[in-house]
Structure 1
Amino acid sequence: MTVSLVLACIWAVVASVIAMLPNRIHWPAAYALIVVGIPILGFVTYQNGPIMGLLVLAGGVSILRWPVLFLFRWLRGQVTGQPAE
């Protein structure tokens, strides 16, 4: 297993531990996980190819599903000109 996949696994474990913490910690931790996760995703893609990068991206999206959902709602509002719900 490459270093990038080990880092991605550590990221997933940390995200799972954060999910067990109180709700007031979730959003700041989600922002931190996104900031740390993007370079890890690039590193995984660089070392293991685009297929593995897409698999790690899918895993990250499944863990951080609410920030991704809010991002898609915001983008839809920007495209259609309607405020996000």
Structure 2
Amino acid sequence: MILLALVCLWALAATVTAFLPMRWQMAPGLLLMAAAPVLIVALGVVYGGWAAAAATAGFVSMFRRPLGYLALKLARWFGQRRGR
């Protein structure tokens, strides 16, 4: 029950963060991005894979642009490390 309350608080915090001006979104957004995998794994352990899949879909939907940017940066970084 506490886990569901934490997940709901995370979703509310993500929604409030989205309403902030762009310059104020960085710190809370990074904190939310770091907390999400922990909560998703905990949901999967307690409630099963369907809950973790639904939470992952919601997370990716809410953070699609930052995750895309992170993926692009990581791809460029790994490409440079391989000598390309």
Q: By the TM > 0.5 criterion, same fold? A: yes
Q: Give the structure 2 partner of residue 6 of structure 1.
A: 5
Does residue 56 in structure 1 map to residue 55 in structure 2?
yes
User: Take 1:57 and 1:5, find their aligned partners in 2: how far apart are those partners?
Assistant: 15
Q: Which runs of 5+ in 1 are unaligned?
A: none
User: Take 1:23 and 1:80, find their aligned partners in 2: how far apart are those partners?
Assistant: 30
Does residue 39 in structure 1 map to residue 38 in structure 2?
yes
Following TM superposition, the consecutive aligned residue runs of length 4 or more in structure 1 with deviations greater than 3 angstroms are 78-81
User: CA-to-partner distance for each residue in 1:11-49, whole Å, 9 max, x for gaps?
Assistant: 011110111111111121111111222221121111011
Q: Which structure is richer in relative contact order (CA contacts within 8 A, separation 6 or more)?
A: 1
Aligned residues: 81
C-alpha RMSD over aligned residues: 1.9
AA partner of residue 15 (structure 1): A
* Deviation of the 1:4 alpha carbon: 2.1
AA partner of residue 9 (structure 1): C
Q: Give the structure 2 partner of residue 21 of structure 1.
A: 20
User: Take 2:35 and 2:18, find their aligned partners in 1: how far apart are those partners?
Assistant: 16
State the TM-score, normalizing by the size of structure 1.
0.78
User: Take 2:73 and 2:18, find their aligned partners in 1: how far apart are those partners?
Assistant: 24
